[in-house]
Structure 1
Amino acid sequence: MKSSPKYYLILFLTVAAYFGVSKFIFDKVYGTIHIVIDELFHIPQGLAYCERNFTYWNPKITTLPGLYLVSAAVLGSHFQCNTYNLRFINLIASCINLILFASILKFVYGNTSYVKTVWQALNLALLPPLYFFSHVYYTDTLSLTFLLVFSGFVNKFKLLNFIFGLCSVVMRQTNVVWVAMIFGHKLLYIFIKSSRVFGNQYLTKAKLSRQSLIAKDLDASKLKRYYGISDLFNALFYHITTCFVTFFKFITLQDFLDLFLHSITLISFLAFVYINGSIVVGDKGAHEAALHLPQLFYFLIFYAVFALPYVLVKLRTTLSLIFSNKIKVVFICILFVGIVHFNTIVHPYLLADNRHFTFYIWNRWYGKYDFAIYASVPIYVFLLFSLYDNLRQQNCISFLMPYTVCLFLVLALQKMLEVRYFIVPYIVLRLRFVRPSFKIILFEFVWYLTLNCAAFYVFFNKDVVWKDFDYSQRIIW
């Protein structure tokens, strides 16, 4: 969809209103507390980098120094480097994220209302956990900025795409998983489409020349818009029988360059993990990798809370889907019960740190009742079908398979339960939902405003006293 002055005017007014309200909240957050939990490590590190002291490193910091490098580039020489300005970098980044969300949604939904596009972008910027961390000096907001820019350059500027992909990993290591997802999506798409274009007799019953008009427009037409699992198996059988010759013939120079540049990022990261001995930089004892499958169930709860309008609008079709797949539902229930029984892990921080909402949720449900982990299984099953229901009409196996693998890697291999870990996986899914109506967008907007108001009310009014600190702590996501 071509942009018009009307689109830019709507976007400008929305960003201006968003910044104005957020700046008011930002100042109130700053006036309430100058150090929010992990800022105890982040702020001194940012100050050190602003002073060009790149040898100092706090061993409690787990992420790579991307946030502090950006801080050093923006502050120090041009602006005063202090807590207020360090946090302010994330507030500006959140405004940039709003603009990037609008650009991506405009591309995803194509010819749709400018108001709907920008409004959805605003909703994503207001996603409560993301919105809160836009007011403090954490890595999440700016990390997402680089990831969104990276995804926006995938099919345009190859070198910039590579640079921002690399930068997103330097901002936060887990972003490498989403670089890998783009790589896997591209590879699978070429893998399946090449089998169709070169005359996969198991699909088209006819062998086509690559130069034929039908081959060139095969998947742009209504013949096949989204690939399913059967397309993948047929493609695999076809390429095996042809010794993968047509697969390599189909890859263009641009495709090869894309895959090559993504490979450099992925191989570089593997080298870093090998040399470092872990994916985290510091505090390795508290962040050891471990198989923790229930993290995927907690992500479904995250989806239920923050995609509530989409869960409710699909409620009837989701229930119909469940009742029409009774045998599968029973099997999934048994599987989930086995997973929560044998693989539920409770990290010590979850039980000890009463400055996070997860502490109260866990101790008032999962930790309080022995049956809670089993009683939650039907909810997980329902939400799994609900998520599938929201994705099935708008997605392709070339996205769903890499996404599922990457979701497993980013969530199910860590012990600690933190709401922040679910932000990017959810945003990736939210950008793939079927085009919503104005009513759903309005519901989402009101729902997010309600949750944000509740979260900030608790933050501003609930003190948590720790003997090790001479100031009151606050409760956050």
Structure 2
Amino acid sequence: MRELHSRGRQFTVLSIAILLVTIISAVWLQSVSRTVPEPYLDEVFHVRQAQVYCAGAFHQWDPKITTPPGLYLISYVVFWLTGRCDIYAIRALNVFGVCLIVWESFDILLALRRANRSKTNEEDKSQEDSWQLTLLDAHKAVNIGLFPPLFFFSALYYTDVVSTWYVLKGYKHFLQSQQPNSSLLGPGVRTVFIGIAALFFRQTNIFWVAIFPAGLAVINALRNDQDRQHPTKVQDLSKIINESWQNSVLYDCPVENAGLEDCFAVVISAALVALCKPLVVLRAVAPYIILLFAFGSFVAWNGGVVLGDKSNHVATLHFPQMLYIWPYIMFFSWPLALPSFFRSLDQLPRGAFRSFSKSSVLEYPTWNPPRPLSIAAFAVLGTGAVHYNTIVHPFTLADNRHYVFYVFRILLRHPAIKYFAVLAYCCCGWAAVQILGSLPSPGRWNQTAGIKGNRNGKKKSQASTDTHDDSCPVSFIIVWLAATALSVVTAPLVEPRYFIVPWIMWRLHVPSSSASPFPTDTTRDEPLDSPNVWERVWRRYDFRLWIETIWLLVANVITGYMFLHRGFAWPQEPGKVQRFMW
């Protein structure tokens, strides 16, 4: 009965979330279709190819198109069902796609929470906590659907939205396949089919449906196959190596306790344990090896990764892409850093922000400053990448319709600017990683809930574990960075669309915290079974999500307004409206 109530609650909340995103997306689609009724920019190629497929001419292919035909095949199915293949009908596919992304994100968040609960052997939540966690997951899923570089293309006929949905579908299946009662054959076959389907939309999806889950699967398999619990506290490297090699104990500490040396320690530990258990590793990665073999066969048959326009899409090594991603993440996600940032300011010697400490908004840990070794490594590698490997594609400086054009104009205004930017990359990278490990202090929650707790959070009570997700492990950061690097470093062009999937994967793993901008009465011993459930849920809600929602909506409104109403004309193409876009 409890499981039935839980599913009903999840269905209700998810339905409301999808309805909200549907309304916002439909308004955006109507605005675009009314102002820009004809195909714009790359839509010219995509719409034309879709209509060729709708006409049944599957053998005809536009040589300017670089991506596989997955979107056009779906458009053909829509045409077969509805008899419509006009631009409005096929643009509407991406409205549906954004709603599916919200749905998949919600399911992924539930799966991640179940995985955390099984690792900590937590019991079922109370009714209040269940409502709160469900609302948090739905709100996070809505914010993912509103992510501006993704949401913008929900009203245009581009491949990004449906491609992202298939990647999330593959990740959800991976999480479900990691459950203890999951068999090998069934999930393995579905993994291959979902992965191949994702590759029909974008070739770089191979890194997110094969490399990314394979790395996580290996870590999970090594962790689950050991007799004793893996250490989660910082240890001496020699002890880690000894435990990993002799006892096959995987070292994997939380992000909140980690430094650069811990990243190396996790890699070394995983490699040593994997050498001791090759069959465990092979069983974990078998479906992904099949996917990689299929993709390699396609590349060999095609003579390259892209289908058309190969001269302008030559794969190269472009390491500064891994620098650009950090300000990208923080530009869209700065609200998530606010509480910990204020707490860090509160620790300044003069106590300039001491007055804020009385509010529950600051019940977050103070961020640890970046360690000298990490700063030095980032500075050396970042400066080297900027100096020797900065690539400015001709398309970047030739097209002032894209926002990246203006970013690079600033970076190239003076030779020193791109080197000073390394400091900004370093700060944003540190903040993005800290957000993954920022958990609220359980002190105020414990006092509010009538449970005695340690102010420093040294003893983690049941109440504190119920109010947020576990901190992200270092192994996830390593695997995420590897998949991100493989997917973007080979691209000479810098486009916000390339970072959509990395941002979403990062955002899905940001812990949800119970904190409110409203002060709580810490002297009031209120029982957990209080009848006023909704008041308590609201008081413990993660206020960052609301600020994030407002910020994402503001960004969408501004970019939408610029696209629709701030058009301009090029001298070489008089009378033709050019529009700003991501």
| Number of residues of Structure 1 aligned to a counterpart in Structure 2 | 455
Task: Quote the residue 2:196 is aligned against.
Answer: 166
Which one of 141, 157, 167 corresponds to residue 147 of structure 1? Answer: 167
Equivalent position amino acid for 1:451 in 2: A
Residue 57 in structure 1 maps to residue 61 in structure 2: yes
Question: Letter of the aligned partner of 2:581 in structure 1?
Answer: I
Contact kept in structure 2, 1:293 and 1:339, CA below 8 Å: yes
Match of 1:443 among 524, 527, 547: 547
Per the alignment, do residues 160 and 205 of structure 1 end up closer, same or farther by CA in structure 2, a change over 3 Å counting? Answer: closer
After the TM superposition, which residues 31-180 of structure 1 pair with which residues of structure 2 at under 5 Å, given as runs?
Answer: 31-33=34-36, 34-110=38-114, 112-154=132-174, 155-156=176-177, 158=187, 159-179=189-209, 180=211
- Scaled by the length of structure 2, the TM-score of the pair is 0.72
Q: CA deviation at 1:189?
A: 2.9
1:345 aligned to 371, 383, 391, which one? 391
SS class of match (2:380): helix
- Cross-structure match for 1:376: 421
User: CA shift at 1:76, angstroms?
Assistant: 3.7
Deviation at 1:148, TM superposition (A): 1.4
Query: 1:475 and 1:277 mapped to 2: Cα distance?
Result: 34
Whole-angstrom distance in 2 between the partners of 1:281 and 1:332 = 36
Distance in 2 of aligned mates of 1:456 and 1:115:
28
Contact 1:228–1:397 (CA under 8 A) maintained in structure 2: yes
How far the C-alpha of 1:81 sits from its partner, in A, is 0.8
Q: How far has the Cα of 1:440 moved from its partner?
A: 0.7
Change (3 A) 1:372 1:161: same
Residue 279 of structure 1, aligned match among 302, 305, 324? 305
Which runs of structure 2 are paired with 1:25-36 in the superposition (5 Å)?
25-33=28-36, 34-36=38-40
User: Aligned partners of 1:130, 1:71: CA distance in 2, in Å?
Assistant: 19
Deviation of residue 402 (structure 1)? Answer: 2.3
How far residue 361 of structure 1 moved from its aligned partner, in angstroms, is 2.2
What does residue range 123-272 of structure 1 map to in structure 2 within 5 Å? 123-154=143-174, 155-156=176-177, 158=187, 159-179=189-209, 180-194=211-225, 196=227, 202-203=242-243, 230=265, 232-234=267-269, 236-237=271-272, 240=275, 244=276, 246-248=277-279, 250=280, 256=283, 259-272=285-298
Corresponding position: 1:420 with 2:497: yes
Query: Deviation per CA, 1:109-145, whole angstroms, max 9, x where unpaired?
Result: 3555222211111110000110011111000000111
User: Given that residues 128 and 448 in structure 1 are in contact (C-alpha distance below 8 angstroms), is that contact kept between their aligned partners in structure 2?
Assistant: yes
Q: What's the offset of the Cα at 1:74? A: 1.9
Give the gaps of 5 or more residues in structure 1. 209-214
Q: CA deviation at 1:354?
A: 1.4
Q: After TM superposition, give the deviation of residue 247 of structure 1 in Å.
A: 4.2
Of the three residues 435, 438, 441, the one matched with 1:390 is 435
- Write out per-residue CA displacement over residues 160-217 of structure 1, whole angstroms, 9 at most, x where no aligned residue: 3321111011111110001211012212332454355699994499979xxxxxx9xx
Alignment-derived partner of residue 11 in structure 2? 8
SS of residue in 1 equivalent to 2:512: coil
Is 2:501 the counterpart of 1:455?
Answer: no
Deviation at 1:400, TM superposition (A): 2.6
Q: Is the 8 A contact 1:340 1:373 kept in 2?
A: yes
- Helix, strand or coil at the partner of 1:153: helix
Do the aligned partners of residues 93 and 232 (structure 1) sit closer, same or farther apart at CA in structure 2, a change above 3 Å counting? Answer: same
* Structure 2 residues without counterparts, runs of 5 or longer: 115-129, 178-185, 231-239, 346-365, 439-470, 515-541
For 1:212, the equivalent position in structure 2 comes to none
Q: Does 2:506 correspond to 1:429?
A: yes
SS at match of 1:52: coil
Query: Which shows bigger deviation, 365-374 or 314-323?
Result: 314-323
> Secondary structure, in 3 states, of the residue corresponding to 1:152?
helix
Alpha-carbon distance between aligned partners in 2 of 1:163 and 1:327, rounded to the nearest angstrom:
43
TM-score in terms of structure 1 length: 0.87
Is the Cα contact below 8 Å between 2:340 and 2:367 reproduced in 1?
Answer: no
Cα deviations across residues 57-81 of structure 1 (Å, max 9, x unaligned)? 1111110111111111222443311
Identical residues among aligned pairs (%): 28
